[in-house]
Amino acid sequence: MEKANNFLEMVIENADALLKGQLMQYVLRGMTDGGYWSEAVDLIEKYGVVPKQVQPETYQSNHTDRFVATLNRLRTGFDAS
């Protein structure tokens, strides 16, 4: 959900940018399951961390491919070509 929020924030912040410009092409390329170190740091600072024994993996956290595919399918309405 954080990635989806970051995507929406980037679109809002850059609403005046050219749709075919380099920045918007980056924003609209879609999401992947993974990220950058800075994103991990932001999440840790926001929510903290706990040992895996306290918060074990769930079915959803181990199967994010369908969620990411759905978000990218919804994104196709923003086709910049």
Q: What pLDDT is attached to residue 28?
A: 76
* Residue pair 78/28 in contact by the 8 Å Cβ criterion: yes
Q: What pLDDT is attached to residue 81?
A: 46
**How far apart (Å, rounded) are the C-alpha atoms in residues 10 and 28?**
10
Q: What pLDDT is attached to residue 80?
A: 47
CA distances to 7, 12, 45, 54 from 23, rounded to whole Å, are 12, 13, 27, 40
**For each of the chain's 81 residues, which pLDDT tens digit applies?**
787 788 888 888 888 888 888 888 877 776 666 677 878 888 889 989 988 888 888 888 888 888 888 877 887 665 544
Q: What pLDDT is attached to residue 45?
A: 92
Cα angle 30, 58, 5 (rounded to 5 degrees) comes to 30
